[in-house]
Structure formats: structure tokens, C-alpha cells
Structure 1
Amino acid sequence: MTLLILGLLLWVVAHLFKRLAPELRGAMGEKGKGLAALGIMAGLILMILGYRMSGTHDLYALPPYLRHVNNTLMVIAVGLFALGHSKSRLRAKMRHPMLTSVVVWGVAHLLVNSDAASLVLFGGMTLWALAEMALINRAEPAPERYQGGSLAGDMRLVVISLVVFGAIAGVHIWLGYNPFPG
């Protein structure tokens, strides 16, 4: 669990660095971007290793139907994540689609995982995304809206989201975590 917590802290610090210490981050120039990227990547690796190594047990029981809710929320989370870089008309309607995706992802996983490592990982990532949104909104109260988007962009977003969800489900099955009730 130590690696998981260390990875989560590194992820959070690396992401929040430019929001919490903008002068210091700005003085670092391009090197600061590289350092942040390195911290984020190291945090991600530590979180994955720490989560996979944790031998925790379920802390409480969850009803089986929540797997359906999880899968539905995961399709939405993948769509929101893709929305941030899409040419969909929906992109102009939402300020933080990628961070909202992390919140939906975290909540979805908390609905089907009741072990301590999952509470740390998914709860921690959810709290980070909410904090990041609050800090961005405070620093930049009036964002520039995305201009553009098309029906074709909407369709691509749906198709790509479903394909990516399928790939994610496939990786979960390969790792031994079948997301589909059987």
C-alpha cells in the first residue's frame, strides 16, 4: 500500500504544481514541463505497482447489480475523456470533460471495489480531480469556449468511446478482472 500512496501523492503534487506554485513553475520554463511529466509518469507507475501488490481484502459487501452501473458509468467516463480532444458539438457544453471523466471513473470503481487499496486509489483520484477543477475555476473563471464541432464529430466520439471501452474491458478480462457479470 505504501507504493500506492506514494504514487498517488506524486501524481497529485506533479499535477497541482503549476496551480499551487505558478511563479516557481513558470521560472522553470520547459524543464518544468519535463519534470512534471516525469513526476506524473512515476506516480502512475507507482500507483499501478502499489495497487497490484496490495493484498487487501474487502471491507464491506457490495450488491452484484452495481457491476452494471459500473459498466454504464465507464462508457460515460470514456466518452467524457475523449470529449476533451474531440470535434464533437458537446465539447463546447462542458468545461472539464477529462477531469469529470476521472470523477465518474473513480465513483464507478468505488461502486464495485470495497478493498482498502481501491478506496485509496479511486477515492484519491476522485478527490484530486475535484480539487484540480476547483483550482482551475479559481484561476481561470471565464474559459474560452470551444468553437466548432459537428454531427460527424459526435458520431466519431460515440464510436471511438465504445471501441476504447471494449479495449479497456478486454485488458481487465486479461488481467483477471472480468467487468461483465456472468
Structure 2
Amino acid sequence: MIEFLIALFVFLFAHMLPQIGDLRGKIIARTSRKAYIIGYSVLSTLLLIWMISAALRAPRTILYAADPLTVRISMGLMLMAIILFVMGALRPNSLSVSFRRDRGHQNSNPGILALVRHPIIVAFALWAFAHILVNGELANILLFGIMLAFALLGIARLNKTKPQKLSAADYARVKQREAGSWGQRLRRAGDRQLAIELVIGIALYIVILHAHGPIIGVDPLAYL
């Protein structure tokens, strides 16, 4: 349990540190935005792997067990999470986490952003919640519960800070993608790229689902 708590602390600290004294901006100024995103993504992934592996090695204190129903719900949530992640990763997004720079085409080609402002973070929250449903061990509940809280707090923080980094004109322009009724936003989201992203997301989900057992040691398909 001590290793898990250390890994959890390091993971959370690594995600708070870039905001202290605008460290993120200083690193980007010395390198580049692309280099920062790649480096930070690699670091986050490694820390996440360490944290999950430490949780798997922690003493087993089981509070509840998975069953076929919760596994099916979890699998459905994970399908949504992976599709959302792919769609969010492939669209520039001035109001949230993004892997692509905004070139001024967010309104004409918003995709999922017309429906969900923070697709990558929502995907992260769905991932955490899906794993809480089927992981009744205390260490795993702590792990994924904190990850869920971390995602929700991240959404609140981005809603406050991201608009401040845009001019009034740019913010009004980006907000237009969310304007109108749900039907209008749905039509605005639909394009050929969205269909491609959907296919990629489903394919990635299938790969992850079948790799989960060999890599993580738990096969969701065994519960079905």
C-alpha cells in the first residue's frame, strides 16, 4: 500500500506542478508546444502505469466483487470513453485539453466539440468510473476514485482558466460551436471525419479489450 500511495502522490503532483509559476509556459518557451505535449504525455503514461501496477500489488481488501452486469456496464462506458478520447484527440480545442493547435477551423469543423467541450477529460472520467464499478478492492477504489475526482476538478478548472487565455473575440468565436439546440449541435458535429474517428475508436476499443487480460491480468470477456 505504501508504494501505491507514493505513486498516487507523484502522479497528482506531476499534474499540479506545470501550473505552479506557469512552469508549463516556461518549458514551452524553451522548447516547443509539440515537444512539451509529447514529453508530458509520455511522463503521464509512465506514472499511470506505475500507479496501476502498484495498486495491483497492494494488499487485497475486497469490499465488493464484479459480476456480469457491472462488467457489461463497464465495457459500455469504456467503449464511450475510448471513442470520446479519439474524437477529442483529433480535433483542436481551445477550451480544453488538446493534442492539436487551433488553426481557426473549430467552428466550421467542430466534430465532437459541438456536443462535448472536454471530450478527453470526460473520457478519462468515464474510464475511472467504469473501473470503480468492477474493482471492489480498496486500493483500486482509491485509485480510480481519485482519478474521477481529478477529472471533474480538471473540467471545472479549465472552464475557468481557458476562456481567460483567449481574446473576447476568439472566445465568442469558439463558443459558437456550442450554440443552438441539441439537434443543431448534432448536425454541426456530423461530418466525414467524425465517422472516421468513430471507426478508429471502435477498433481501438476492440484491441484494448482483447489486450486487457494479457497486459493487466484481468480479462473482462471472462465474465460474459
Query: How many Å apart are 1:151 and its aligned residue?
Result: 2.3
Which stretch of the first structure deviates more once superposed, 70-79 or 51-60? 51-60
Query: How many Å apart are 1:159 and its aligned residue?
Result: 0.9
**For 1:91-170, what aligned pairs fall within 5 Å after superposition?**
91-141=113-163, 144=174, 151-170=191-210
C-alpha distance in 2, partners of 1:101/1:82?
9
Query: How many Å apart are 1:50 and its aligned residue?
Result: 0.5
Which residue of the partner structure matches residue 18 of structure 2? 18
Number of aligned positions between the proteins: 181
Which stretch of the first structure deviates more once superposed, 104-113 or 55-64? 55-64
- When normalised by structure 1's length, the TM-score is 0.82
Q: Which runs of 5+ in 2 are unaligned?
A: 92-109, 178-187
C-alpha distance in 2, partners of 1:89/1:35?
27
Whether contact under 8 Å (2:82, 2:204) holds in the other structure is yes
Query: How many Å apart are 1:26 and its aligned residue?
Result: 3.7
Query: In 2 relative to 1, CA 22–70 (structure 1 residues): closer, same or farther, beyond 3 Å?
Result: same
Which residue of the partner structure matches residue 90 of structure 1? 112
Query: In 2 relative to 1, CA 146–101 (structure 1 residues): closer, same or farther, beyond 3 Å?
Result: farther
Whether contact under 8 Å (1:9, 1:43) holds in the other structure is no
Q: Which runs of 5+ in 1 are unaligned?
A: none
> What is the letter of the counterpart of residue 205 of structure 2?
F
Give RMSD over aligned pairs: 2.9
Which stretch of the first structure deviates more once superposed, 53-62 or 142-151? 142-151
Query: How many Å apart are 1:10 and its aligned residue?
Result: 1.9
Query: In 2 relative to 1, CA 173–42 (structure 1 residues): closer, same or farther, beyond 3 Å?
Result: closer
Which residue of the partner structure matches residue 53 of structure 1? 57
Query: How many Å apart are 1:106 and its aligned residue?
Result: 0.6
C-alpha distance in 2, partners of 1:112/1:154?
30
Offset from partner CA, 1:105-140 (integer Å, 9 cap, x none): 111111111001211221111111111111111112
Whether contact under 8 Å (1:11, 1:39) holds in the other structure is no
Task: Indicate the structure (1 or 2) with the bigger Cα radius of gyration.
Answer: 2
Which residue of the partner structure matches residue 179 of structure 1? 220
C-alpha distance in 1, partners of 2:213/2:201?
18
Whether contact under 8 Å (1:73, 1:105) holds in the other structure is yes
C-alpha distance in 2, partners of 1:169/1:146?
37
Query: How many Å apart are 1:12 and its aligned residue?
Result: 1.9
Select the residue among 59, 62, 65 that pairs with 2:69. 65
C-alpha distance in 2, partners of 1:60/1:71?
18
C-alpha distance in 2, partners of 1:84/1:63?
31
Identity %: 26
- When normalised by structure 2's length, the TM-score is 0.68
Query: In 2 relative to 1, CA 146–3 (structure 1 residues): closer, same or farther, beyond 3 Å?
Result: farther
